[in-house]
Amino acid sequence: MRRTAEGLRDYPVVVATVAVGLLGGALELTGAAGAARWVVSAFAVVVALMQVRGMVEDLRAGTYGIDLLAVTAIGSAVAVGEYWAALVVCLMLAGGEALEVHAAGRARRELTGLLENAPSTAHRLGREGRITEVPVDDVAVGDRLLVRPFEVVPVDGVLESDGATLDESSLTGESLPVDRSRGEEVLSGVVNGGEAIEVRATAPAAESQYQRIIELVRQAQDSRAPFVRLADRVAVPFTLGALALAVGAWVVSGDPSRMAEVLVVATPCPLIIAAPVAFMGGMSRSARNGVIVKSSGTLEQLARIRTVAFDKTGTLTYGEPRVTAVHVAGGLDGRELLALAAAVEQYSSHPLAAAVVDRARAERVDVPAATDVAEVPAHGVRGTVDGCVVAVGSARFVARETSSAPARPPAGTTGVHVALDGRYAGYLALADELRAEARATMASLHRAGVRTTMMLTGDGEDVARHIAEQAGIDDVRAELLPEDKVEAVRTAAAHPVMMVGDGVNDAPVLSAADVGVAMGARGSSAASESADVVITVDDLSRSARAVQIGRRTMRVAWQAIGIGVAMSVGLMVVAAGGMLPAIVGAWLQEVVDLACILWALLAVRPSRAERAEVARVAADTTAAARSRAGHPVLT
């Protein structure tokens, strides 16, 4: 009962319209038909004046007076004595707005869910294990936090407990719990499992992943698309045509009530309601798929994308070097060569050294200890392992150690060469591997109607072309500075252009593109702030899914508008022929509005073709990962 009362307070015009209807009906039953006419007519005129005020405010804000037809319908119905029809139009307008709010609220549910789950407090652990509850904004980097069972992790951090089972669905869409081990990164917004855990904060609340997503959601919720303004403009010729038909019916029939009968079924509520509901549905579904669309206008652009450009490092690739092959040139086998290299590289600070050590651990190779380790900056490292001198580094460094030319690694890879007691022993090929889903993503974009895929990178030509060939990219632009990337996007042959990137250096080109998409799961905050769309999951295929959702949203919006206009025109023609009383027409227009809203809500759900496309991309990605796993690293 309390919830019902609160709901009624949210829609006062609906309540007032029903109350006036009951009062008017009571007056007529008691024989006071004249009083009923005056009460109902006066109320209808008040509602019309409220609509006029709204029209004036819209005109001042730069939008057209879309409610002109509704005002005309009420006025003409009152003028010819069809006051009950005028009241039904009032109910239609007020009820349509209430339905729009309710439908938009349903479509918005996934977006607001993020805000509702935002943590406001954290449990800070003191030196003696004392727990203090503090506002989440007071958490500092380095603080130890206790996250109780089924609580939301308040800030980004590192897991201090031995292990944890986390629900990451609010960030990644992954429905199954994820197991994390000590030392792994834990993002804010994930939900802890059934055991309390300790987390060491690595970022304040304002800079944590969940807060960044929340800020993007806030921007998304209050946006309004150019497409909705297009619907406003469509309503103008619709209004003029309806007025012309109404006046013509009056002139031909000689009956002024015929004009009112036409106008009561001509209210352009489908144009007012359908597009916003469809766009909120599309934004809601995007959020559920790990794609935050900052403005509903971006959905319109996504639907029309013709060129998609990608950064390479961290976008098409994983953004970190990995050992892809071990090539031996002496009497050692692959495992032995990897063990020797890792033995000295574990003391190096070079980024490639960590990749060598990580591969040794992944292959469960026993890494021996090294002594007398000395690092030659920018060249390599040398040390003693089991009485043998091992040198690991660049081709030039190892060539000096061995007085021979090292082997050349495959195109697109970097060689970490190894010498043993002055003899060349082989190399480890390292590369920033192409994402398993990259090729499937390019194919999905082409099937969605994208004409050209591009790679814009600052890397060398050979590496760029190697990656582009693997991914199936049409156009490769290498050795570009940030300003060169901007120029490439602006001069692309087919617009609109979507740019996908993740780094700080991508921020300018993300801003310059018609739609900028940031890989926000691991990318820089500068890229996320400059982009129109942020992918919160470390999955490149979500860029293709964003285009598909945009197309689906636009298609549903136009269909909803088309259905409403077609039904309204049909009713107007019947009314012009004198076969539709004004009171019946007013109720039928309510049915038209409801049909438009229900159809627009289809944007919340994927189509059958979209579901098939997602399954196809997933299958292609799995096949690519298995194919890659079939090529052994150790030979």
Catalytic residue set: 311
- Cross-strand bridge partners of residue 392: 381, 418
Element (H, E) at 32: none
Main-chain phi, psi angles of 152, to 5 degrees: -85, 135
Which candidate, 500, 406, 428, places its Cα nearest to that of 457? 500
Which candidate, 415, 337, 330, 341, places its Cα nearest to that of 373? 341
Task: Count CB atoms within 10 A of the CB of residue 124.
Answer: 19
CA atoms of 240 and 227, how far apart (whole Å): 21
The 8 Å CB, 24+ separation contacts for 361-370 are 363/335, 363/338, 363/633, 363/634, 365/335, 365/338, 365/339, 366/339, 367/339, 367/342, 367/343, 368/339, 368/340, 368/343, 369/343, 370/343, 370/344, 370/346
HEC profile for 171-188? HHCCCCCEEEECCCEECC
Orientation of helix 541-576 relative to helix 226-253, angle to 10°? 10
Asked if 315 contacts 615 with a C-beta cutoff of 8 angstroms, the reply is no
CA atoms of 86 and 306, how far apart (whole Å): 48
Residues 6+ apart with CB under 8 A from 355: 320, 321, 322, 323, 430
CA atoms of 151 and 149, how far apart (whole Å): 6
Element (H, E) at 199: strand 197-201
Asked if 436 contacts 625 with a C-beta cutoff of 8 angstroms, the reply is yes
CA atoms of 311 and 432, how far apart (whole Å): 13
Main-chain phi, psi angles of 62, to 5 degrees: 95, 10
CA atoms of 628 and 635, how far apart (whole Å): 15
Element (H, E) at 346: none
Asked if 50 contacts 70 with a C-beta cutoff of 8 angstroms, the reply is no
Which candidate, 75, 57, 88, places its Cα nearest to that of 243? 75
Which candidate, 583, 586, 575, places its Cα nearest to that of 252? 575
Which candidate, 267, 305, 232, 303, places its Cα nearest to that of 556? 303
Q: For residue 161, with 0-12 CB atoms within 10 Å meaning exposed, 13-18 middle and 19 or more buried, which class applies? A: middle
CA atoms of 388 and 406, how far apart (whole Å): 19
290: alpha, beta or left? (left if phi > 0; alpha if psi -120 to 50) = left
Which candidate, 277, 261, 258, 279, places its Cα nearest to that of 269? 277
